[in-house]
């Protein structure tokens, strides 16, 4: 054979960093084989004319990551599965070792994304389920929600509209789980029309039968008394009146302080991508009212 390697054999490179065990053709690695690295890394799979090309498995000792799938000239390229030592996995398309095209990524926290990737980042159309149960579907730009999308929160609140820099920005609509709705322009995650006062519309005193429900209609106003444009709110509240008088007294105007809205509305809870929420409070042991304050 004139000294040319062919068939199956083992070759240790002069620098002793590489060791190859497998098939040869014309003195080149060709067919099935395993290339071992001195640091503990390895590739096992197909070779074509001396190059890592075809189906195989690659393990990196430095990172602890392992990839199984298609290769082109030594790089993960095509379709495959990458398992990360730190936790999580990616299954989908790659180009030159980076996530590129359609894929499914689960991170170390269990958050999952299905959709388009570019340059290893979420980019294009995609859907993501977050650790807290929130779900987003829409446009992404370099790992951030940007463009048009819909966020469904675990508490039932829904935002649909424009995003920029991972927050609500532009025209959008938020239907909060409490019943409040805001439709209008958002700036840096907050409605442009900011309310500072809650006005309860209707009588100041209501007779409520034991165990029955009633509806409160509220209006969000600004400091000048004008209605905050784009907000509509109606809340239905059912409570037990055992041990409590079934006559409910309501103040028509409920200006909030920095920490509390009023005796009828509990502590404010803030979120970087939504209006501050006045969470249900208690009269006795019963929730009373949920409303937005900005």
| Mean pLDDT of all residues belonging to the chain | 79
Closest by Cα among 72, 67, 126, 136 to 102: 126
Residue linked to tokens 């359609």: 102
> Which residues does residue 52 pair with via DSSP β-bridges, in sequence order?
47
Cβ 152 vs Cβ 161: under 8 Å: no
What's the 3-state SS for the chain? CCCCCCEEEEEECCCCCEEEEEEEECCEEEEEEEEEECCCCEEEEEEECCEEEEEEEEECCCCCCEEEEEEECCEEEEEEEEECCCCCEEEEEEECCEEEEEEEEECCCCCEEEEEEECCEEEEEEEEECCCCCEEEEEEECCEEEEEEEEECCCCCEEEEEEECCEEEEEEEEECCCCCEEEEEEECCEECCCCCEEEEECCCEEECCCCCEEEEEEEEECCCCCECCCEEEEEEEECCCCCCCCEEECCCEECCCCCEEECCEEEEEEECCEEEEECCCEECCEECCCEECC
- pLDDT tens across the length of the chain (294 residues): 456 788 999 999 998 899 999 999 999 999 999 999 999 999 999 999 999 999 999 999 999 999 999 999 999 999 999 999 999 999 999 999 999 999 999 999 999 999 999 999 999 999 999 999 999 999 999 999 999 999 999 999 999 999 999 999 999 999 988 877 888 899 999 888 766 776 777 777 777 777 777 676 767 777 777 776 655 544 444 444 444 444 444 433 333 332 222 222 222 223 333 333 333 322 222 222 233 333
N-term to C-term CA, the chain: 83
Cβ 118 vs Cβ 139: under 8 Å: no
Closest by Cα among 200, 172, 170 to 187: 170
Distance CA(71)–CA(67), nearest Å, equals 10
What predicted TM-score, i.e. pTM, was given to this entire model? 0.71
Residue-wise pLDDT for 28-55, tens only, equals 999 999 999 999 999 999 999 999 999 9
Distance CA(23)–CA(5), nearest Å, equals 9
Residue-wise pLDDT for 47-93, tens only, equals 999 999 999 999 999 999 999 999 999 999 999 999 999 999 999 99
Distance CA(133)–CA(154), nearest Å, equals 5
Residue linked to tokens 């100041």: 204
C-alpha of 160 from chain center: 15
Tokens for 210?
């034991």
Tokens for 102?
């359609």
Q: How many CB atoms lie within 10 A of CB 41?
A: 14
């Amino acid at each position: 054979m004139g000294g040319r390697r062919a068939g199956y054999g083992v070759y240790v490179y002069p620098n002793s960093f590489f060791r190859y065990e497998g098939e040869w053709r014309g003195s080149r690695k060709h067919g099935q084989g395993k290339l071992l690295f001195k640091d503990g890394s390895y590739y096992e799979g197909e070779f074509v004319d001396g190059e890592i090309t075809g189906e195989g498995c690659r393990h990196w000792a430095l990172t602890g990551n392992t990839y199984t799938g298609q290769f082109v000239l030594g790089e993960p390229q095509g379709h495959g599965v990458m398992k990360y030592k730190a936790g999580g996995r990616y299954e989908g398309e790659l180009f030159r070792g980076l996530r590129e095209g359609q894929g499914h990524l689960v991170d170390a926290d269990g958050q999952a994304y299905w959709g388009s990737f570019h340059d290893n980042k979420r980019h294009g159309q995609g859907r993501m389920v977050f650790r807290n149960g929130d779900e987003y579907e829409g446009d992404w730009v370099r790992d951030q929600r940007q463009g048009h999308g819909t966020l469904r929160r675990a508490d039932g609140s829904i935002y649909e509209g424009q995003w920029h820099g991972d927050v609500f920005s532009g025209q959008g609509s938020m239907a909060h789980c409490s019943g409040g709705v805001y439709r209008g322009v958002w700036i840096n995650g907050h409605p442009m029309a900011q309310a500072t006062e809650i006005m309860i519309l209707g009588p100041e005193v209501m007779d409520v039968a034991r165990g029955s429900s009633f509806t409160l209609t509220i209006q969000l106003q600004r400091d000048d008394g004008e209605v905050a444009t784009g907000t509509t709110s109606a809340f239905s509240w059912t409570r037990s009146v055992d041990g409590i008088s079934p006559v409910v007294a309501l103040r028509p105007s409920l200006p909030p302080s920095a920490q509390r809205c009023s005796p009828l509305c509990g502590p404010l809870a803030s979120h970087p991508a939504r209006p501050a929420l006045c969470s249900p409070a208690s009269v006795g042991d019963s929730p009373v009212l949920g409303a937005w304050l900005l």
